Chains A and B, each alone.
Chain A
Amino acid sequence: MSASDDKSGDIMSIPGAEDQIDPATFEQILEMDDDDAEREFSKSIVYDFFGQADTTFKKMDKELEKKEDKYLKELSELGHFLKGSSATLGLTKVKDSCEKIQHYGQLKDDSGTKDITEEQAQEKLGTIIKQAKTEFKEVKEILKEFYKDDDA
C-alpha cells in the first residue's frame, strides 16, 4: 500500500503529468497491480492503450482524408471510442480532445451545444485530431517514463 502511494507520487512528479493525468483515476488502476515493482497489469493496460490510440488516430486520419460517406459519423465514433479508454485511464487531456472530436463529428461545437457547418467541422477536426495526437504523445512519454521504459 505504502509502496503504491510512493509510486503514485512518482507519476505525478513527472513534469507535465499533472496536466495530463487525473491522479485518482490512474491510481485506482495502479492499485490493481499485484506487484508494485513490476506493475504488470497496469503496464499492459497502458501499453495496449498506446496501440489502440495509434490505430484509432490512423483511422481518424484516413477518414478525414478520404471524406467518404458518413466520415463525420465515423470520426465521432472513433472519438467516442478513444474517449472511453482514455477516460478510464484518467488521461484527461486526451479524453477532452476526443470528446471534441466526437462533438465535431456530430456537427456540434466544443461543448456539443451548438450546430456547426460541415466546413467548420472539417477544419476543427483537423486541428483537434492533431492536438489530440500531440497530447497523446506527451502523455505517452510521461507514462513511458513512469514505467521506466528505455525505448522511449
Chain B
Amino acid sequence: MDSNQGGGGGSNNSSDFVRKLYKMLENPSDESVVRWGNDGDSFVVLENEKFTKHILPKHFKHSNFASFVRQLNKYDFHKVRHSNEENGQSPYGPGAWEFKHPDFKMNNKDALDNIRRKAPAPRKPNQSNTEEFAPSQQMDMVSGQLMATQAQLHQLEGRYNELSIHHSMLLQEVIGLQKTVVNHEHVMQQIMTFLHGVDATQRRNSKLIFPNGAQAQNGSVEAPVQTADDDNPASPLQHASKLLSETNADAMLNPRNLEHMNEITMRMNGTLTTPPPDFARASVRPTSRGPPSATSTGSVRLDNLDNLVYPVGSSNGIDPMYSEHINNIPYAAPPKAVEASEPKFLEGRKKSAFPDPGWIRPPQILLVEDDPTCRRIGSKFLYAFHCSIDSALDGLEAVNKMNNGSKYDLVLMDIIMPNLDGVSACHLIRQFDTTPIVAMTSNIRSDDISMYFQHGMSIICLFASSALICLGMNDVLPKPFTKEGLLHMLEKHLVHLKKPLAQTDGMPAPQPVPIARQLVLKEEDSPAKSPQATSNWNSPSQMPGVSPVGTTVPDEFAQAMRGQPVQHPSPYGVNPMQNNMGYSTSPHMQMQAPQPPQQTPGHPAHRRQVSEISGGDDLNNPAKRQQMYAPQMQQQMGPMQPRPR
C-alpha cells in the first residue's frame, strides 16, 4: 500500500507521498504533534504515539510508524541525529523525530518535484541505462533487420517479376498455339462457307427456285447456306461443316480460360503500375464480351467471317514499303491511281518544313531500335516534331525501362532486334502496360512471315502488319519511315496531347500547318481535325479494334469485331487490320461523311460502308467476287506461299 502510493506518485511531477507529507504539515491544528522544524528545512514528529494513532491514519491510511519511516527513507529523507549536540538531546524534546530532505522546505512547494523515490537499488539505474543505449544499439539492430528484410523482399520481388514474366511468356505461347489451332479451324470453315456458297448457287441455279434478281439481293452467303440447309441437309458439305463447327467449339473452350488468365495477370500487373483507368476498362470489356458473340452460333460466325473478307494480294498494288499503300488495303483505289499520286506526294514532302504538331506538352517517346542509323534519324525526326525521346537498343532494354516505371506516351518499336525482338517485347510490355506501341518494320514481307509464325501467328495474317497488331501492337509504321508517316502516327496516337484545333490554327508558322493537314487529309483520317475523330479521341486507338467502322455497323457485329483482335487474330487476319488501322478504312468513310453527295448521292455514307463490308453486291459483280475470294483462298491453302513480289 505504501509503495503503491509512493510509486503511483511517480506519474505526477511530485510524488503523492511527498505532497501528502507537505499537506500534513500545513495543518496548524496538528502542530503539537508534527510540525516544520525551526529552520523550515525539516519536519519534526513531536509526539510519536499521537502521530501514529491519529495523524498517520488521517493522511496515509495506516497507523504504522515504522512503515512511515521506511517510506521516508525510500524518498531519501534522513533522520536528523542530534547525538553530538546537547547531550544527544533534540531541541524538540527527547522523543522527537526530525526528518530532513534537501528539497523538502517549508515555503518551497516547487522543490517537492525533486523528491523522487529512490529506485529499488539495482533495477532502476539499469533501466535508465538501457534506455540510453536503446536508441543507438537497438536502432542499429532494427535497421539492420529492416535492411535484411528489404533485401529479401527485393529478392522476392525480383523473383516474382521474373516468374511472372516467364509465366506470361508461356501463357502467350500457349495462347498463340491455341490461336493457330483455332485459326486453322476457321480457315476450314471459311473454305466450307465458300464451298457452301458455290454449292448452293449451283443447286439453286439448276433448280431455278428463285429468280436471279432475288438471289443477287441475297448476296450474303448466309442466306444460301440456310436455304441449302433446308433443301439438302444430307449434303456432304453440310456434314463436314457440322463436324467442323463441333470441333471448333471444343477448341474455343480452352483459349477462353487462358485469355482469362492472361487478362487477370494483365489486370494484376496493371493495378501495380496503375495504367490509365479508361484503358483498363476498355481492355477488359472486349475480352469478356467478345467471345459469346464470336462463338454463339455457327451461322453468326460464318456470316462475320464472310463479311470480313476483302481483297488482299499483290494485284491490289499494295506495296508494304510504302505507308501510303496501307491506306489502300481495304478498298483499294485502282493501283494505277495510287502510283500516279505518289510523285505528287513526294513533291509535297520536299517543300514542306517540319510543322509544329502543337502538343500541349512534349510527348515522351521511347524509340526501340538496334540500328544506330535508324535510331539517330528517328530521334532526329521525333525531335523535329517536338517530342522528347528516350531510346532503347533492343527489346530487353525497352521492357526493362518500362518495367522500371518509365512512362511514355508512345513506343516506337523495331521488330527484329538482338536479345529480345520487338514482338516478344511487346508481349511482355502488354502484361503490365498499355502504352500504345507502334511497330516499325520494313518486314511487311512474305519472307518474314515465317518469323511471325514462330510466334504462334497464323500465316493467314498475310499482312504482317495485321499480325503485329494481333500481337498487341497498336499500329505499324513501315520502314523506312517517312516524316509524314511518323507525324501521322504521333498525331493518331497522341491526339490527347494535341492542342485544341483553334489553338493549333493560331500557331505560328501558319504555312507548314496547312500543308501538313492537306497531306494528312489526303493520306488518312487526320485524327485531330476531322469531327469524327475528335468525338472519338477519348479512346484513341489504345484499344485496337474500335474504329469508326465498328460504330456504324450493327451492335452484334461490332461486338464480334471488338473481341477479335484479342481472340483469334487470323481467320480475321485481315480483319483486325481493317478494323484497327482505323485510318485504313476510315479515309473513305470520313471523307465521305462531310461530303456524301459527291460519292454516293442519295445514300448515307455508312450504308454504303456496310454493304461494302458485307459484300452485298458480290453476285452482281463477278469480278469483284472473285477478287474477294480468290486471293484469300490461295493464302489459306498455301499459306507458306508468300505474295509474289
B-binding residues in A (CB < 8 A): 1, 5, 8, 24-25, 27-29, 31-32, 41, 45, 48-49, 52, 77, 80-81, 83-85, 87-90, 102-103, 106, 108, 111-113
Nearest residue, chain A, Cβ from B447? A112
Chain A contacts for B479, CB-based, 8 A = 84, 87-88
Question: How far in angstroms is the closest Cβ of chain B from A56?
Answer: 10
If A25-B480, A45-B377 touch, whether A83 touches B442 (CB-CB below 8 Å) is yes
Chain A contacts for B381, CB-based, 8 A = 32
In the bound complex, do residue B373 and residue A49 qualify as a contact, i.e. CB atoms below 8 Å apart? yes
* A81, B380: Cα distance in complex, Å: 20
In the bound complex, do residue B446 and residue A45 qualify as a contact, i.e. CB atoms below 8 Å apart? no
Answer whether residue B354 sits at the interface, using C-beta atoms and an 8 A cutoff.
yes
Known: A89-B373, A112-B645. 17 other contacts (CB 8 A): A1-B351, A1-B353, A24-B349, A24-B350, A25-B482, A28-B349, A29-B377, A32-B381, A48-B376, A52-B373, A77-B416, A81-B370, A84-B479, A88-B479, A89-B377, A90-B480, A111-B644
In the bound complex, do residue B373 and residue A85 qualify as a contact, i.e. CB atoms below 8 Å apart? yes
Nearest residue, chain A, Cβ from B343? A24
In the bound complex, do residue B447 and residue A45 qualify as a contact, i.e. CB atoms below 8 Å apart? no
Chain B contacts for A28, CB-based, 8 A = 349, 482-483
Chain A-chain B contacts (Cβ-Cβ < 8 Å), number: 84
* A31, B377: Cα distance in complex, Å: 11
Q: Which of B624-645 contact A (CB under 8 A)?
A: 641-642, 644-645
If A24-B350, A87-B442 touch, whether A106 touches B377 (CB-CB below 8 Å) is no
In the bound complex, do residue A88 and residue B353 qualify as a contact, i.e. CB atoms below 8 Å apart? no
* A89, B442: Cα distance in complex, Å: 13
* A41, B445: Cα distance in complex, Å: 31
Most buried by A among B377, B642, B645: B377
Question: How far in angstroms is the closest Cβ of chain B from A43?
Answer: 12
* A1, B372: Cα distance in complex, Å: 27
Chain A contacts for B372, CB-based, 8 A = 48, 52, 85
Chain B contacts for A8, CB-based, 8 A = 350
* A80, B414: Cα distance in complex, Å: 12
Answer whether residue B402 sits at the interface, using C-beta atoms and an 8 A cutoff.
no
Nearest residue, chain B, Cβ from A5? B350
A-binding residues in B (CB < 8 A): 346, 349-351, 353-354, 370-374, 376-377, 380-381, 384, 414, 416, 442-443, 445-447, 450, 479-483, 641-642, 644-645
Chain B contacts for A87, CB-based, 8 A = 442, 479-480
Chain A contacts for B370, CB-based, 8 A = 81
* A45, B377: Cα distance in complex, Å: 8
In the bound complex, do residue A113 and residue B374 qualify as a contact, i.e. CB atoms below 8 Å apart? no
Chain B contacts for A89, CB-based, 8 A = 373, 377, 480
In the bound complex, do residue A113 and residue B373 qualify as a contact, i.e. CB atoms below 8 Å apart? no
* A41, B384: Cα distance in complex, Å: 13
* A31, B483: Cα distance in complex, Å: 10
* A77, B415: Cα distance in complex, Å: 12
If A8-B350, A27-B350, A32-B384 touch, whether A112 touches B373 (CB-CB below 8 Å) is no
If A87-B480, A103-B447 touch, whether A45 touches B373 (CB-CB below 8 Å) is yes
Nearest residue, chain A, Cβ from B448? A112
* A103, B645: Cα distance in complex, Å: 13
19 contacts between A and B (CB under 8 A): A5-B350, A25-B482, A32-B377, A41-B380, A48-B376, A77-B416, A84-B371, A84-B442, A85-B371, A85-B373, A87-B480, A88-B377, A88-B481, A89-B377, A89-B480, A112-B445, A112-B446, A113-B641, A113-B642
Chain B contacts for A5, CB-based, 8 A = 350
In the bound complex, do residue B446 and residue A113 qualify as a contact, i.e. CB atoms below 8 Å apart? yes
Nearest residue, chain B, Cβ from A103? B447
Nearest residue, chain B, Cβ from A25? B480
* A137, B637: Cα distance in complex, Å: 44
Most buried by A among B353, B414, B442: B442
Question: How far in angstroms is the closest Cβ of chain A from B512?
Answer: 10
Most buried by B among A25, A28, A90, A108: A28
Partner of A88, one of B373, B416, B446: B373
In the bound complex, do residue B447 and residue A106 qualify as a contact, i.e. CB atoms below 8 Å apart? yes
Chain A contacts for B450, CB-based, 8 A = 106
* A103, B343: Cα distance in complex, Å: 30
* A113, B642: Cα distance in complex, Å: 6
Chain A contacts for B443, CB-based, 8 A = 80
Q: Which 8 A-B pairs have the closest CB atoms?
A: A112-B447, A85-B373, A87-B480, A88-B480, A24-B346, A84-B371, A32-B380, A88-B374
Chain B contacts for A29, CB-based, 8 A = 377, 380
Chain A contacts for B371, CB-based, 8 A = 52, 81, 84-85, 88
If A52-B373, A80-B416, A85-B374 touch, whether A112 touches B349 (CB-CB below 8 Å) is no
In the bound complex, do residue A48 and residue B373 qualify as a contact, i.e. CB atoms below 8 Å apart? yes
Chain A contacts for B641, CB-based, 8 A = 113
Question: How far in angstroms is the closest Cβ of chain B from A89?
Answer: 6
Most buried by A among B371, B380, B445, B481: B371
In the bound complex, do residue B374 and residue A84 qualify as a contact, i.e. CB atoms below 8 Å apart? yes
* A41, B376: Cα distance in complex, Å: 9
Chain A contacts for B377, CB-based, 8 A = 29, 32, 45, 88-89
Most buried by B among A83, A89, A112: A112
Most buried by B among A31, A41, A49: A31
Nearest residue, chain A, Cβ from B383? A32
Chain B contacts for A103, CB-based, 8 A = 447
Question: How far in angstroms is the closest Cβ of chain B from A38?
Answer: 15
Question: How far in angstroms is the closest Cβ of chain B from A67?
Answer: 22
Nearest residue, chain A, Cβ from B373? A85
Nearest residue, chain B, Cβ from A90? B480
Nearest residue, chain B, Cβ from A81? B371
Partner of B645, one of A48, A77, A111: A111
Chain A contacts for B380, CB-based, 8 A = 29, 32, 41
Chain B contacts for A83, CB-based, 8 A = 442
* A112, B384: Cα distance in complex, Å: 36
Chain B contacts for A111, CB-based, 8 A = 446-447, 642, 644-645
Question: How far in angstroms is the closest Cβ of chain B from A104?
Answer: 11
* A126, B376: Cα distance in complex, Å: 31
* A5, B349: Cα distance in complex, Å: 11
* A34, B372: Cα distance in complex, Å: 20
Nearest residue, chain B, Cβ from A41? B380
Nearest residue, chain B, Cβ from A102? B447
* A45, B480: Cα distance in complex, Å: 15
* A101, B629: Cα distance in complex, Å: 34
* A134, B246: Cα distance in complex, Å: 59
Chain B contacts for A32, CB-based, 8 A = 377, 380-381, 384
* A113, B377: Cα distance in complex, Å: 31
